[in-house]
């Protein structure tokens, strides 16, 4: 049997999107939490935990978009017009926060402005991504090879809920990241922020999980029909276990476990999403095989990806390793 290239590529793109969500998730989360930190010094330290790695984190988003264009061009051509407003908002948000990393060190008077740009940009990007996700789950109207809906179809109560849920999720990733990478008062503050965020995220996961099957009878069949339920039931069970471990580790002031468990929650929700949607790439009408470019395109890019992606992961790990350890306020720089 020949290799099912669209399936292989769907797996790679899914991995890139997940990598983006968890990696940029914690640095967007730090941005969202920025105004809740005590003072300038805490904000400086918080920013320094992510400054060396944010750019690499965001590159996964470019791989998600560029990869979609390359291997599922029809999905790229339908999804981006369908999600026009949230996508433009996300791009503008990413600009505002991205430049803040450098700009806030270039000015004393204007520093607060770039701190706000960092927060607002992070918040806008997070909401926009969550809204886009909700709109995708609800389904995209397609005629022929083009998006056929209006330019506000993405705006629904469900998509607003997923938007808020993702903000909470990113904020929790950011808080638990700070717990891991800082100490002293900043770490205590991060613990204090993480507890309510954890409860809010668990509530949001619950509501979205119960709402999603009601949107579409296919989702209902996937999750609750016999014997499918046997295959999918580990996902909610593991989610409950991770949630319990998260809450306990925050209570016991573990340093790494809260971040790890928040990552686990993201991965499990993502798997759950995959169970609902697969094999649709533009639900409900377009499957990964409908959207795929010809095998010749897929094979050409796969050949290089097989070499380059492991290399990328290797030097990304090296970069994180080079900047490991607790980040503290620079002694003697004032």
**In the range 27-56, which residues lie near another protein by CB under 8 A?**
44-45, 47-48, 51-53, 55-56
SS3 assignment for the chain: CCCCHHHHHHHHHHHHHHHHHHHHHHHHHHHHHHHHCCCHHHHHHHHHHHCCCHHHHHHHHHHHHHHHHHHCHHHHHHHHHHCHHHHHHHHHHHHHHHHHHHHCCCCCCCHHHHHHHHHHHHHHHHHHHHHHHHHHHHCCCEECCEECCCCCCCCCHHHHHHHHHHHHHHHHHHHHHHHHHCCHHHHHHHHHHHHHHHHHHHHHHHHHHHHHHHHCHHHHHHHHCCCHHHHHCHHHHHHHHHHHHHHHHHHCCCCCHHHHHHHHHHHHHHHHHHHHHCCEEECCCEEHHHHCCCHHHHHHHHHHHHHHHHHHHHHHHHHHHHCCCCCCCCCCCC
Binding of residue 157 to another protein (CB under 8 A): no
Q: How many residues bind another protein (CB under 8 A)?
A: 78
Binding of residue 108 to another protein (CB under 8 A): yes
Binding of residue 66 to another protein (CB under 8 A): yes
Binding of residue 81 to another protein (CB under 8 A): yes
Shortest Cβ 198–another protein spacing (Å): 28
Binding of residue 6 to another protein (CB under 8 A): no
Among residues 20, 101, 154, 223, the one that binds another protein under rule CB under 8 A = 101
Among residues 29, 65, 134, 174, the one that binds another protein under rule CB under 8 A = 65
**Ranges within 308-327 binding another protein (CB under 8 A):** 308-309, 312, 315-316, 319, 322-323, 327
Shortest Cβ 158–another protein spacing (Å): 22
Binding of residue 73 to another protein (CB under 8 A): yes
CA–CA distances in Å: residue 184 to residues 190, 228, 297, 320: 10, 48, 52, 22
Letters for 113-152 (x = contact with another protein by CB under 8 A, - = none) are: ----x---------------------------xxxx-xx-
> Would you say 215 or 329 has its CB closer to another protein?
329
Shortest Cβ 73–another protein spacing (Å): 2
Binding of residue 5 to another protein (CB under 8 A): no
Among residues 21, 33, 74, 127, the one that binds another protein under rule CB under 8 A = 74
**Ranges within 253-282 binding another protein (CB under 8 A):** none
Shortest Cβ 246–another protein spacing (Å): 29
Binding of residue 61 to another protein (CB under 8 A): yes
Binding of residue 330 to another protein (CB under 8 A): yes
């Amino acid at each position: 049997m020949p290799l099912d290239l669209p399936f292989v590529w769907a797996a790679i793109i899914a991995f890139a999107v997940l990598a983006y969500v968890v990696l940029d998730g914690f640095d967007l989360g730090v941005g969202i939490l920025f105004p809740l930190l005590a003072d300038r010094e805490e904000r400086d330290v918080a920013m320094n935990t992510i400054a060396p790695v944010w750019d690499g984190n965001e590159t996964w988003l470019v791989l998600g978009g560029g990869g979609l264009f390359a291997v599922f061009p029809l999905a790229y051509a339908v999804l981006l017009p369908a999600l026009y407003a949230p996508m433009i908002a996300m791009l503008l948000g990413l600009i505002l926060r991205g430049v803040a990393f450098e700009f806030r060190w270039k000015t004393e008077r204007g520093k607060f402005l770039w701190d706000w740009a960092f927060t607002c940009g992070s918040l806008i990007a997070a909401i926009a991504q969550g809204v886009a996700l909700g709109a995708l789950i609800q389904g995209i109207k397609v005629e022929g090879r083009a998006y056929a809906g209006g330019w506000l179809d993405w705006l629904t109560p469900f998509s607003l809920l997923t938007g808020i849920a993702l903000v909470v999720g990113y904020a929790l990733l950011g808080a638990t990241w700070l717990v891991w990478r800082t100490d002293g008062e900043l770490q205590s503050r991060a613990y204090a922020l993480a507890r309510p965020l954890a409860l809010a995220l668990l509530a949001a996961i619950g509501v979205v999980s119960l709402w999603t099957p009601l949107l579409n009878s296919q989702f209902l069949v996937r999750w609750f029909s016999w014997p499918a339920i046997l295959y999918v039931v580990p996902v909610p069970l593991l989610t409950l276990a991770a949630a319990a471990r998260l809450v306990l580790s925050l209570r016991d002031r573990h340093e790494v476990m809260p971040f790890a468990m928040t990552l686990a929650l993201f991965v499990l929700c993502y798997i759950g999403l995959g169970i609902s949607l697969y094999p649709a790439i533009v639900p409900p009408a377009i499957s990964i095989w409908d959207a795929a470019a010809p095998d010749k395109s897929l094979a050409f890019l796969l050949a290089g990806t097989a070499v380059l992606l492991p290399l990328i992961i290797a030097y990304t790990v090296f970069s994180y390793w080079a900047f490991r350890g607790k980040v503290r306020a620079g002694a003697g720089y004032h």
